[in-house]
Structure 1
Amino acid sequence: MDRKNKRLLLLIVSCSVAGVVLGGTSSWAESTMCLKATEVTSECLTQDPISKTIQGMSTGLLAGAGAAFGAAWQLRNEE
């Protein structure tokens, strides 16, 4: 692997990890706030917080990887 490919891989991995962390944290906080609300809705009671967090993490993974590919594409076109 040459240096350029290693940098691209590092960019994709770091953006994906950041997306997973942010997506999971925001989903977990949203489900916690939903349960602590003054009026709890039926939608809030039927959602599993763990599956909601995993869904947020997977969305963050895709968003982070997409952002990394977009940034790499932009830098490649500027050269």
Structure 2
Amino acid sequence: MMAEKAYKRKCTVYPFHPWDRKDNTKHGVVLWVPHSIEALVESAVEHLKVSMDSFLFLTEDAAKILDVNMICDNQKLYLITESQ
């Protein structure tokens, strides 16, 4: 049980593009990093109350996250639609 907690990571997800900081009224949500990108997208969509679409995560440098193993503990991520 203790070893499982030691490996848990969390991230903060924001519902906008990292370079589009104009809208300060949108809050992010802190989530535990699950075992798949798909599960993280589902959780983020549910907690941020955004409409379901085709999403991806970007880092602060606007790099696409391909796998949850690339996410560092306490990392800021940005949930955007694939068309953005």
Which TM-score tier does this pair reach, normalised by the shorter chain?
A: under 0.3
Higher strand share: 2
Query: Which TM-score applies when normalising by structure 1?
Result: 0.24
Higher helix share: 1
Q: Which fold has the larger relative contact order, with Cα–Cα distance below 8 Å and residues 6 or more apart in sequence?
A: 1
